[in-house]
Amino acid sequence: MINRFVDRFSLARNRRLVAVGVIISSLVAFVTSAGVVRADQLSPEMERLIEQRVEQGIDDALTGESFDLRVEQAILKFIEKQNRARAQQQQGAAQQAAQNVAKVDASTDFIRGNPDAEFSLIEYSDYECPYCKRFHVTATQFIQNNPEVNWVYRHFPLDFHNPGAQKEAEAAECAGYLGGNDAFWNYSDQIYQRTRSNGKGFPVSNLVPLAAEFGLDRSKFEACLESGQFRDKVLAQLKNGQQSGVSGTPGNFLRHRATGLTIPIQGAQPLENLQRALALLKSQVDA
């Protein structure tokens, strides 16, 4: 008799566990009230009573709104739990990868702000990325508001923005090579201000004239750019960014100079999020 109810219920909406629960509850209630008896000892009247009780329990389970609500809540709770676990796993992986960010080196890095600042905002960026264009303004405000933080710019030209992004990165390096740290940053600022982004926002043919606007030697700049003098440096920074977990731009990291503690910051975060990240890093340093 019990097998018959289980088979019937299993076919209905695939709710096997509920069926078993209903059946067990009904039988427990019967056993409690009538005492334990063997199936072959049941009278026809008692068997019909059990059948009616189980049938009613199954019907209630299948049609009750509370059942659907409980199922929905259980599914949502499971999904939420899985999402939290996945987010924690991704955060752990990002934190681990962030340890691969190359140390700041004033002899090879271009640094805006105090080179000896306690903290560094290390940005892996693409001159043709529209999000980087927007973040460039945010990062400028951030270091102005926080003199204990300097800004280190590293290149991460995306394939689908090339050849423009790669050549712009090399051009900025040539500007820094010929004119020093300020020339690099001024040149970078102007590219971001003038480009329309997405790979065709600033013509490659304008890179040399832009350098001349800053008083850089036109012929030397052109020779530097055409020779690909800094091609390998740009690609090395791109590779280090990838090793550090960067897959899109801008990829940012906040690092404490003395301890090397590093927090990854994904994407073009607003100013308030950078402030929160800095506060978090400071709390970790002080812990």
The more confidently predicted of residues 12 and 278 is: 278
Q: Give backbone dihedrals phi and psi of 177, rounded to 5 degrees, phi first.
A: -65, -40
pTM for the full model? 0.70
pLDDT band of 287, cuts 50, 70, 90: confident
* pLDDT tens-place string over residues 125-165: 999 999 999 999 999 999 999 999 999 999 999 999 999 99
DSSP percent split of the chain into helix, strand, coil, nearest 5: 65, 10, 25
* 101-286 is classed CATH 3.40.30.10: yes
Q: What is the Cα–Cα distance from 215 to 209, expressed in whole angstroms? A: 10
Q: What is the Cα–Cα distance from 187 to 158, expressed in whole angstroms? A: 20
- C-alpha separations of 162 from 126, 171, 179 in Å: 10, 14, 25
* pLDDT tens-place string over residues 201-259: 899 999 999 999 999 999 999 999 999 999 999 999 999 999 999 999 999 999 999 99
* pLDDT tens-place string over residues 58-71: 666 656 666 667 66
Q: Are strands 119-125 and 149-155 parallel, antiparallel or unpaired?
A: parallel
Q: What is the Cα–Cα distance from 224 to 171, expressed in whole angstroms? A: 8
Q: What is the Cα–Cα distance from 57 to 26, expressed in whole angstroms? A: 8
Which residues 6+ apart lie within 8 Å of 119 measured at CB?
Answer: 146, 148, 149, 150, 254, 255, 256, 257, 278, 281
